[in-house]
Amino acid sequence: MSRIIFDIETAGKDFDSLDKGTQEYLLKWAETEEDEKDVKESLSFYPLTGEVITIGMLNPDTDKGVVYFQSPETAIAPFEENGIRFE
């Protein structure tokens, strides 16, 4: 039976780029500056404030895999390195 290792990486939006109402809602239960920091650093975990930036899959038995990633600033042609395809 084949095995697969699967990884998803996410990134959160910049807190300051969110509208005032959303910022207030997200900070509603934050009681300390540490709580506010935690909220701002956790934006990648919520569907409305985060996005998937990379998905990786690896077959550990063959060491072959694929990584799908975003590159909005620069077009990067698909390439392969050490048995891993990057697209």
Task: Tell me the pLDDT tens digit for each residue of 56-87.
Answer: 999 999 999 999 999 989 999 999 999 999 99
Q: What is the number of domains present in the chain?
A: 1
Residue 23: exposure state from Cβ atoms within 10 A (0-12, 13-18, ≥19): middle
Residues 6+ positions from 78 with CB-CB distance below 8 Å:
85, 86, 87
Report strand pairing: 84-86 vs 64-69.
parallel
45 has pLDDT over 90 = yes
Give me the pLDDT at residue 1, please: 83
- What one-character DSSP code corresponds to residue 32? S
Enclosing domain of residue 75: 5-86
Predicted TM-score of the model (pTM): 0.78
Report residue 10's pLDDT band, with 50, 70 and 90 as the boundaries.
Answer: very high
